[in-house]
Chains A and B, each alone.
Chain A
Amino acid sequence: MAIRVQREDFDVGAELAALTEGRTDIGALTSFVGLVREMGGPGAGAMTLEHYPGMTEKELAAVEREANARWELSATLIVHRYGRLEPGDRIVLCAAASPHRQAAFEACNFLIDWLKTKAPFWKLEETPQSERWVEAKADDDRAAEKWKRS
């Protein structure tokens, strides 16, 4: 289990290779990479990600712990960036390794859904005229909701 919060970019191939390095018990490795999508035409779409140092790491670790409690996982990784990012830049990497693919798929889906509604990050989007704080989406709440246990 590992989580990292960093300003720098990450190399997806190198991260995934490191996660399974020397392991022979892993049969499936899934990953999700979130990218900055261009919104509102050329020149728009760069953003600055603010976060709450300290709590961010705690929440990401809690998300990862929860995934490991729910599925049989051999390794998990969350890397989340902060600072100014341009369209096309990587924002987040979630990865889950398991002996079996279904657990890896579901856990990876859970990691990104859960962190989107839990980890204290906020996106400030640049527009040609000014900048605006991105609003939380009901879709993201619903995506996280489906993993809730009654």
Chain B
Amino acid sequence: MKILWFAWLRTRVGTAAETVEPPAGIKDVAGLLDWLATRSSGHAEALAKREVVRVAVNQAYVKGDHPVKAGDEIAIFPPVTGG
């Protein structure tokens, strides 16, 4: 599973992309975020305010109950500020 971090979440985590293998019990986005937050203090900090965290699975916005599986590209980022 590929995790992509953007904007200030990327700077907190310290990497733009990482490949992870979450435990088998991780079935959805919310569970994945909880597990990712345990990986380092930077991850924990990035994911501390969950209400400002947006998630896309395979380049489409999803909610916390969206399933995740091996091979997914999961992007995690703050609210967008383009335009």
Contact = CB atoms under 8 A, between A and B. Distances in A.
Interface of A: 34, 49-52, 54-55, 58, 80, 91-92, 112, 115-124, 133-137, 140
B78 A123 contact: no
B56 interface: yes
Interface of B: 4, 6-8, 56, 59-60, 75, 77-83
Given A120-B77, A133-B78, A112 B7 contact: no
Given A52-B4, A52-B77, A55-B75, A120 B56 contact: yes
A115 B83 contact: yes
Return the 10 tightest CB-CB contacts between A and B, nearest first. A121-B82, A136-B79, A122-B7, A116-B83, A55-B59, A133-B8, A134-B81, A123-B81, A119-B82, A122-B81
Contacts of A34: 83
Most interface-central of B7, B79, B81 (chain A CB within 10 A): B81
Contacts of B83: 34, 80, 91-92, 112, 115-116, 119, 121, 140
A140 B81 CA distance: 9
A121 B60 contact: no
Given A52-B4, A120-B56, A124-B7, A136 B78 contact: yes
Given A51-B82, A80-B82, 14 more contacts: A49-B82, A52-B4, A52-B6, A58-B60, A91-B82, A116-B80, A118-B80, A119-B83, A120-B6, A122-B7, A122-B78, A123-B82, A133-B78, A133-B81
Contacts of A133: 7-8, 78, 81
A117 B79 CA distance: 8
A33 to B, nearest CB: 11
A122 B56 contact: no
Contacts of A51: 82
B3 to A, nearest CB: 13
A134 B78 CA distance: 10
A71 B59 CA distance: 26
A112 B80 CA distance: 13
